[in-house]
Structure 1
Amino acid sequence: MANHFDLEEQEQLDQIKHFWKQWGTLITAVVVLVCGGFAAWSGYNYWQSRQATQAAVLFDEVDSAAEAKDVQRLQRAFDDMKSRYGSTAQAGQAGLTTAKVLVDAKNLDGAKSALEWVAKDSKFEGQKAIARLRLAAVLMEQKAYPEALKQLEGSVPPEFAASFADRRGDVLALSGDAKAAIAAYQEAHAKLDPRSNYRRLIEAKLNSLGATVQVAAAQTTGSSQ
């Protein structure tokens, strides 16, 4: 009986050896690939988490410098954010914060530079849209109307569409194109929720250009009941 078992075991071992000889390399490669992929995925997640944590620490420096109105320290901190953590959300927010402080300090060229970086290099569409809106406002201050309009061209996230049309109306009105400004304001008005107070501002701008907007029928009906 023992010999019978020994023969069976030997046959099984031979089968295993044959199978492993035929498929062992492929199986090993697959295992290494799967394990390597998991390790890479885990490592990437760890790296992202570490980047975000370190970026948050540096953003505190940006925030502190902004609150103190320390422009030189603020710009140094923002430069560090760009070079070390440019792919993080904190870097884009740092650019927007830096630009706001620089506008308040009447440093429009510095604000323009910060906003251009966010508009071009931020990884987040919302930050890019905000940067373009603010950059258009800075360019308006500099009376660079054609450049301001360029910032307001192209596609934007739907939630920013009304703001972009409104800002376009502002630029066109300042550049003396009242007809185009009215069209832009009407577009902005149409894109806004009828309950939005922002609509009243658009209506005031239209009135200043000699145009009017019909209040939505549903809104008029509701107010008369």
Structure 2
Amino acid sequence: MAYDLEEQEQIATFKAFWGRYGNLITWVLILALGSFAAYNFWNSHSRKQAVEASALYDEQTDALTAKDNAKSQRIASDIQSKFKRTVYAQMSALTAAKTAFEANDLKTAKTQLQWVIDNGNDEYKSVAQLRLAGVLLDEKNFDGALKLLDGKFLPQFAAEVADRKGDVLVAQNKIADARAAYVAALAAMGPKHPGSQLVRIKLEAIGGTAPAAAAAPKAAA
């Protein structure tokens, strides 16, 4: 096919452009397509892992109900080894810690909670730290519990942290400090928090008085 002069110039320009940038454009397209394929594969892989981890976690909740600590620990180990990047790994470790604690297997409970602290996101880490402090309190490791409670927590856990500190301080017979901790917990909770009544009871039991802002709401007339 014959081309007129203008078309020939356009073809020549294109050939020159392609000769200079063609390889670069080709590699950019290959990388873009590769990234897109990898993204789709990763999403598909992540969904598959989440489904499999979810099925295992359902089995673990049944083990929790049945108080089958051995089965709960096996499932937690499987999820942590195979699906560590899913949220179910953190949930499973917390569940395994609960079944171990209820079976009076405090060593395993602490190991599972520490796993969450080392591998979980900030929210699950905060939960695990609170629960581990409770285990240490039961073991009368008061200094260890307080050290853990002085660590980093998300702001929304401030009330629970102060409440747990109060429990530890009462166990140490540091009553004045315990009162201050419970008052701080009530201030962070507010009067409508579901845990505020229990904290008020603990505070009053050691001779403290709830601040007016945290006083129990009056019943409607």
Alignment TM-score, normalising by the size of structure 2:
0.90
Q: Distance in 2 between matches of 1:217 and 1:137?
A: 24
Percent of pairs identical after alignment? Answer: 40
User: Which deviates more from structure 2 when the two are superposed, residues 37-46 or residues 127-136?
Assistant: 37-46
Classify 1:163/1:91 alpha carbon distance in 2 versus 1 (closer, same or farther; 3 Å).
same
User: Which deviates more from structure 2 when the two are superposed, residues 70-79 or residues 140-149?
Assistant: 70-79
Q: Does 1:102 align with 2:74?
A: no
Letter in 2 for 1:38: F
Letter in 2 for 1:127: Y
Does the 8 A contact of 2:80 with 2:89 survive in 1? yes
Q: Does 1:200 align with 2:197?
A: yes
Structure 1 residue 197, shift from structure 2 partner: 4.2
Structure 1 residue 184, shift from structure 2 partner: 0.9
Structure 1 residue 217, shift from structure 2 partner: 8.9
2:18 to 20, 38, 47: 20
Residue 150 of structure 1 corresponds to which residue in structure 2? 147
Structure 2: gaps (5+ residues): none
Q: Does 1:159 align with 2:156?
A: yes
User: Which deviates more from structure 2 when the two are superposed, residues 27-36 or residues 162-171?
Assistant: 27-36
- Aligned length in residues: 221
Alignment of 1:106-117 (within 5 A): 106-117=104-115
Q: Distance in 1 between matches of 2:68 and 2:204?
A: 42
Letter in 1 for 2:9: E
Q: Does 1:141 align with 2:138?
A: yes
3-state SS, counterpart of residue 58 of structure 2: helix
Classify 1:161/1:218 alpha carbon distance in 2 versus 1 (closer, same or farther; 3 Å).
closer
3-state SS, counterpart of residue 150 of structure 2: coil
Q: Distance in 1 between matches of 2:216 and 2:68?
A: 48
Residue 168 of structure 2 corresponds to which residue in structure 1? 171
Q: Distance in 1 between matches of 2:24 and 2:158?
A: 54
Letter in 1 for 2:12: D
Structure 1: gaps (5+ residues): none
User: Which deviates more from structure 2 when the two are superposed, residues 37-46 or residues 12-21?
Assistant: 37-46
Structure 1 residue 111, shift from structure 2 partner: 1.0
Does the 8 A contact of 2:186 with 2:214 survive in 1? no
Letter in 1 for 2:88: Q
List 4+ stretches of structure 1 deviating above 6 A: 217-220, 222-225
Alignment TM-score, normalising by the size of structure 1:
0.88
Q: Does 1:82 align with 2:80?
A: yes
Does the 8 A contact of 2:149 with 2:165 survive in 1? yes
Structure 1 residue 49, shift from structure 2 partner: 1.2
Letter in 1 for 2:85: S
User: 1:38-89, CA deviations, whole angstroms, 9 ceiling, x for partnerless residues?
Assistant: 2222222222112211211221232232232222222111111111111211
Q: Distance in 1 between matches of 2:141 and 2:38?
A: 48
Classify 1:127/1:217 alpha carbon distance in 2 versus 1 (closer, same or farther; 3 Å).
closer
Residue 65 of structure 2 corresponds to which residue in structure 1? 67
RMSD: 2.3
Letter in 2 for 1:183: A
Structure 1 residue 12, shift from structure 2 partner: 2.6
Classify 1:38/1:177 alpha carbon distance in 2 versus 1 (closer, same or farther; 3 Å).
same
Q: Distance in 1 between matches of 2:214 and 2:79?
A: 50
Q: Does 1:185 align with 2:210?
A: no
Structure 1 residue 174, shift from structure 2 partner: 0.4
Q: Distance in 2 between matches of 1:15 and 1:112?
A: 71
